[in-house]
Structure 1
């Protein structure tokens, strides 16, 4: 099979501190022979300097100096590798409770999430937090890896206890597909190769599961949305003979002849032509970038959205969002932020904190109106201009927003429209 045409699986790893995420990824890369010889030599040399016999697998992902000095992973580290069956992008996210924001970042585009659980400790608060975020972001596949099985004598009963613990609270979440694998990342049990120490486990090792997971596109194919980024008006001999509306299809399909509406104005027209690059096409589908012309001359500018006439998003100035606060500084009441939504940049403010979610207990706190780093809350946002929105559960592209602090230009929050 031609590797260039293989499907790409994006997955994130999450777990508590010292659950072995970096070691697991190192084992995946090492045993699948996805590491260059010079990288192996460099890691072997560093391992010797640290007084470690053999190879410290965690060093294949912990590339930052601060990470090595502290012995923890403190940022989202991306790694890429390929097997004969599939290509992979890994987002290795930190385990500390204060780095929830990094998991939100790493998991936002993932097809699957690997949640590590230490076999000695079982399901803990961080496990619940990571599972909740995976559910919130609607990651379709969760692979629960019960790691360090070698430290509990590869005990099947212990593995079954942890599976039951996870299922008890996961039943309250919106998770479509959960798999459970007992592993020892350090020794390689059930990571790339099947474990001889756990003959009682009859299913596939982790790599085989990742290679065979069904990758369902998260692109909404029904609701046609073209967020206009720019208007193309080339000059030829002093006359303007082309007016194209260029942008990326957020979702759905457009065909020449389709009846469309332009939002927020509401004017209607018909698709005259569609260009993908220099080629004229009869239809375009998400996530293609195209330039579209209409039969009627309508005033359209950046931030407007072209949609099907009979299938339109909500056009709102006020809406509810499940928001994860990413910034070290707390949210300031009634402060104006820049909201980024598709090709739109508008001013917005957090009008109200409806409730804050306690991820460990799934309780809602309606009294606390503060927003601090790593908080997840349902908030009401009001914008200066109307935005064309869909609920995140229906359309990831038109249902997601970020907030930017105008003073520092930092991204302070990421949210999913309810």
Structure 2
């Protein structure tokens, strides 16, 4: 699969909110266009854009202009075919039109599970039982921007298994994100690993080495394997999430290199949301680990990245204690870092048996693809090397039997190469996608069929939950230019719900200020970022057993678990966590700080 053609985020997108109304998203003209089409029904994008520009981006004024234009075009048709026509005496009776019956998809309602899988830091899901539901009725879309009016019961119906048991061909896939504090050596580590595995041409690496020396950055040559943009190379920091694929003896690995700087945490969230496992890279140099762990106000990116990764579904963690060669392979320093990290990782929900520590040198290439021969390290470490740990990671556990859900990371059109036409890229969170499947993209309402599928750079006839793919569409009906990262490609029979109000079970991070009712936040789900408001804090609950501690608390402080009602600024694609984990996890941030993470337990409206 090609690297996602990343949408650049503004470097200051999570800062300086003093003059920003978080309940109005003005990031893109497409948002205003979507709001107009949502009210007027089908309309050409250029027509809507002109109406908005002529009215200084006033949505209501643009709606009036579009509706007035529609009425003018409809009047001639009404005059040409009046409602009451005088019958002709000798006219033959009109032929009776055949009755057309449209079969409605039936969704079998599964029995509610006794509990949801524990998938948040110290947070189970035993509570939040929902009322008994009836068989949902799904109506066909009539507008390009979907705003389905369905009952709360339909929204919270449990999905049936609609695909048979899946038998994968070849090696299972692991989506692996690399996280950690800025300058911990993440890109250098993984770039050197790819080079040692033979995925980077020596001539290319030689060119990187030459160019890095020319600008006085000798140690950046391996980082350039993943930091491919001019801005990233000039600044020496990762900005976008880089995506590469490689194989081990037993796994197909999709590598996601996430940025470490706090300004780019939204990009890190987008990468971690696609991952099954993570490598947490630690700079072991004296003072560097402490800075990454504590940081400003005890909010170093080592802590924040670990919390976010766990809350986004990552359960297996490799802790790479990097740059230990600069500490003369000191076992005492290795154990010191391990002893400080372990209690925190337990706090955020990682089990001891799912966390593995390994001493490495990303720049020196030590302990990456073969066991170390350096006496200072070999004398006390005899465990597996990094590639062996990656090879033993559990594969993706996505539900391939449920309705198809592909979270779009990118959309584009190609007129040359192996893939031709309208293409969406992303990770399949549930279900199966096959050639000729009927699909719909929510919220645009674009319908079509699957023309071709590409995964790991190879053509395929099917793709399964947990895989990153490029999907080529055919017979697409609608304006493809409206498709954005954060939209969802799904089965036409089982479209993803869209809601503005929903309940979450959440746990707060190590926050400095309490969470209160009516507080405005920014919600991240997959690659989507949207303003939301804490409408109500319903219950504070015990993080271990889920029992209610307090009804309607006034506020939440650090490391508290609670049930909250959230209201978003517009309809957003969400699922109950029990139906689709990838679309049922949310992260809430304020300015440049992570506030809490949660799972969706009920969709309201």
Unmatched 5+ residue regions in structure 2?
A: 1-168, 294-299, 406-426, 433-448, 452-463, 472-489, 509-517, 539-552, 558-562, 589-596
- Which residue of structure 1 aligns with residue 600 of structure 2? 417
Q: How many Å apart are 1:85 and its aligned residue?
A: 3.9
Indicate which of 307, 310, 332 corresponds to 1:132: 307
Q: Is the 1:15–1:115 Cα contact (8 Å) retained in structure 2? A: yes
Separation in 1, partners of 2:362, 2:398: 30
Q: How is 1:167-246 mapped onto 2 (pairs within 5 angstroms)? A: 167-176=342-351, 177-197=354-374, 198-199=377-378, 200-219=380-399, 224-225=402-403
Contact 1:317 1:386 in 2 (8 A): no
Among 363, 380, 383, the residue aligned to 2:566: 380
Deviation at 1:349, TM superposition (A): 5.6
Instruction: Please tell me whether the aligned partners of residues 19 and 147 of structure 1 are also in contact (alpha carbons under 8 angstroms).
Output: yes
Deviation at 1:15, TM superposition (A): 1.3
Report deviation, 1:129.
0.7
Query: Relative to structure 1, is the Cα distance of residues 88 and 317 closer, same or farther in structure 2, using a 3 angstrom cutoff?
Result: same
C-alpha distance in 2 between matches for 1:151 and 1:112: 27
Residue 267 (structure 2) aligned to one of 102, 106, 117: 102
Q: Distance in 1 between matches of 2:255 and 2:328?
A: 29
2:246 is paired with a residue of what secondary structure?
strand
Aligned counterpart in structure 2 of residue 61 of structure 1, from 226, 237, 257: 226
Is 2:326 the partner of 1:161? no
RMSD: 5.0
Aligned-partner Cα distance in 2 for 1:21–1:122? 14
Distance 1:95 1:378, change over 3 A: farther
C-alpha distance in 2 between matches for 1:107 and 1:152? 30
SS in 2 for 1:63: coil
The answer on 1:396 being equivalent to 2:584 is no
Aligned residues: 317
Q: Distance in 2 between matches of 1:249 and 1:64?
A: 27
Give the counterpart of 2:535 among 352, 372, 383: 352
Q: 1:93 Cα shift? A: 1.3
Relative to structure 1, the CA distance from residue 416 to residue 157 in structure 2 (aligned partners, 3 Å threshold; closer, same or farther) is: same
Return closer, same or farther for 1:17/1:381 CA change in 2, 3 Å cut-off.
Answer: same
Contact 2:192-2:363 at 8 Å conserved across structures: yes
Which secondary structure state, in structure 2, belongs to the residue aligned with residue 201 of structure 1?
A: coil
TM-score where L is the length of structure 2:
0.44
SS state at 2:581 partner: coil
TM-score of the aligned structures, taking structure 1 as reference length: 0.61
Match for residue 504 of structure 2 among 317, 320, 328: 320
Tell me the SS of whatever aligns to 1:138: coil
Compare 77-86 and 132-141 and name the one that shifted more. Answer: 77-86
Shift, 1:398, TM fit:
4.7
Quote the Cα distance in structure 1 between the aligned partners of 2:494 and 2:249: 41
Which of structure 1's runs of 4+ aligned residues deviate more than 4 A?
Answer: 51-55, 224-227, 248-253, 285-289, 302-307, 321-324, 337-341, 382-388, 400-403
What secondary structure sits across from 2:319 in the alignment?
strand
Q: Give the whole-Å Cα distance in 1 for the aligned partners of 2:307 and 2:193.
A: 25
1:171 match: secondary structure: helix
C-alpha separation in 2, matches of 1:416 and 1:287: 19
Q: Which runs of 5+ in 1 are unaligned?
A: 228-247, 254-274, 278-284, 290-301, 308-312, 325-332, 356-363, 369-376, 404-413
How far is the alpha carbon of 1:180 from its aligned partner?
Answer: 0.5
Higher relative contact order (CA closer than 8 Å, sequence separation 6+): 2
Cα shift readout 1:335-374 (whole Å, capped 9, x = no counterpart): 9x99999xxx9x996353759xxxxxxxx99389xxxxxx
1:6, 1:86 within 8 Å by CA — same for their partners in 2? yes
Question: Which stretch shifts more, 201-210 or 45-54?
Answer: 45-54
In the alignment, is residue 122 of structure 1 matched against residue 289 of structure 2?
yes
CA contact (8 A) 2:574 2:584 kept: no
Check conservation: 1:316, 1:388, Cα contact below 8 A: no
Question: How far apart in 1 are the matches of 2:319 and 2:208?
Answer: 28
Aligned to 2:236: 71
For the residue of structure 2 that corresponds to 1:5, the secondary structure is coil
The worse-fitting range, judged by mean Cα deviation, of 175-184 and 49-58 is: 49-58
The separation in 2 between residues aligned to 1:112 and 1:250, in whole angstroms, is 15
Query: Higher strand share goes to which structure?
Result: 1
